[in-house]
Structure 1
Amino acid sequence: MSSILVIGGDRLGNIIEFLQERGFQEIHHVTGRKSSQTGVKIPTGTHMILVLTDYVNHNLAKTVKSQAKDRELPILFCKRSCSAIAKAFHMTA
């Protein structure tokens, strides 16, 4: 089972279906707007992290980036749109 952590965005809308079509059965989401969310831990079993840059607290993005590096997890940064996410996926393939 493939799992992704999405950071940012109040709602994911059609991004959930987009990620499911790419094989992610488990999608964890943290809105990332509030400064109180900077202590977020990456869930066990996460295979990739997606940070939606236009809807995220900068301190949270920095914390998650550091955790991803420590755990050697791929992390993508892009705007909140399916086309931007598709482009980011394509660039990593």
Structure 2
Amino acid sequence: MIGNMRAVVVGADRLGNIPVLLKDHNIEIKQHISGRDPSHQKKTYQLPTGTQMVILLTDFLGHNVMKSFRSAAQKAGVPVVACRRSLCSMQQALTQSGFSCADCPQRHKAGKGN
């Protein structure tokens, strides 16, 4: 992939080390939305221009907020990755969605024919 994929991350007040993990996957955070704003619960949300992916941190989001952002992503035609706010969960969700890490050992092993 040339350049970084721009993502909107929804959920959690703090992201901890998640931005570092996303950077390893060539994903930059365009915007982080905690999802706590009451307006997110009642209105249809539009994604910022240039959003290429939505990441939902499910253990910090209510059902209505998740539904609103999934709908916005579907309308924009961008993929949604949903996972808990932990590095292991994020890594697994990204891998299952086809976003492999640029520096992952598994990727290098596969390339060497082992």
What is the TM-score normalised by the length of structure 2?
A: 0.74
Work out whether 1:78 is the aligned partner of 2:70: no
Which stretches in structure 2 are left out of the alignment for 5+ residues? 99-114
After superposition, the CA RMSD in angstroms is 1.5
Which stretches in structure 1 are left out of the alignment for 5+ residues? none
What is the TM-score normalised by the length of structure 1?
A: 0.89
Tell me: higher relative CO, structure 1 or 2? Use CA pairs within 8 A at least 6 residues apart: 1
Cα offset, 1:37, TM superposition: 2.6
Partner Cα separation in structure 1 for residue 90 and residue 29 of structure 2 = 17
Partner Cα separation in structure 1 for residue 14 and residue 88 of structure 2 = 16
- The structure richer in strand per residue is 1
Report the counterpart of residue 44 of structure 1 in structure 2. 49
Distance 1:33 1:55, change over 3 A: same
Count matched residues.
93
Give the ranges of 4+ consecutive aligned residues of structure 1 lying more than 4 Å apart after TM superposition: none
Q: Which has the larger radius of gyration?
A: 2
1:49-86 C-alpha deviation (Å, 9 max, x unpaired) = 10000001221110111111111110011100111011
